[in-house]
Amino acid sequence: MYINPAKCVACTHCVPYCPTSAIQIVSEAGRTFAKIDEDKCVECWICYRVARCPKDAFEPTPPEKMPFVRRLKFFFASATAVWPETGMAGRGTEEMKTNDVTGRFKFGEIGFALDMGRPTGVGVRVSDVEKMCKAIAPYVVFEMENPVTKLLIDPKTGEVRSPELRNVYLLSAVVEAKTSKELAPKVLEIVREVSKELNTVISVGLVCRVKPDGEPEAYEVLRQVGIEPRPNMKINIGLGKPFVGWE
């Protein structure tokens, strides 16, 4: 995002709307105006879409004309923009929400959705995402259609494709993966330990099937690592038409 200094009158109306505090009022060449810190800007466009600048000083760049890093930020910040690489919108996939149709997660498997950088305003560097991916890589299978996975040179190692990506600041990123119920406690312990080394926050979501007695399989995993279940869940109740093409 760019603020045209010739139009801006430094009214500060936009400043509180920025979730990462990237907009600052500066004085340069005898003018006072709002300026965006390109490093902290996550291309969420909230300033442009919501703040409604009275002087129309915001000048957004269409995603297709953005440099690679800015384009990456834009797609990670948007809940509706469709990723060219996956054909899907958002920071994650729909797999955990449509499991009654896809059958992606089976009994005995635990899925992980590690939402890194939220609540809004904290954000996350790709370097921290990489640390988490590298730590859990030996024990999980990453979701191949996930945008984070697309950044990895090899999902088996969790390493990002290019060193210059590591310093990129994103609004948030969702790491999606799955493992066996037996290895899930190990993965949770790793997430807990690695999170202490990161300069961000993580919301941990687990994906699982529900046993015939009504208890989610993830409860057993949580008990093993001493975590009290918090039943804030999205539950598929089997209204979708099952996909029977996979064994």
Residue 74's pLDDT is what?
92
Class (C level, CATH) for 15-60: alpha beta
Residue 93's pLDDT is what?
77
- 65-99: pLDDT as tens digits: 999 899 999 988 887 778 777 777 777 777 666 66
**φ, ψ at 157 (rounded to 5°):** -110, -25
**CATH code 3.30.70.20 region(s) in the chain:** 15-60
Percent of the chain having pLDDT more than 90? 58
pTM: 0.84
Nearest residue to 210 via CA among 192, 237, 247, 228: 237
- Cβ within 8 Å of residue 14, ≥6 positions away: 3, 23, 34, 47, 51, 53, 58
Domain 80-224 has CATH 3.30.70: yes
**pLDDT confidence band for 239 (50 / 70 / 90):** low
Name the average pLDDT for the chain: 87
Encoded amino acid at 215, one letter: E
**pLDDT confidence band for 152 (50 / 70 / 90):** very high
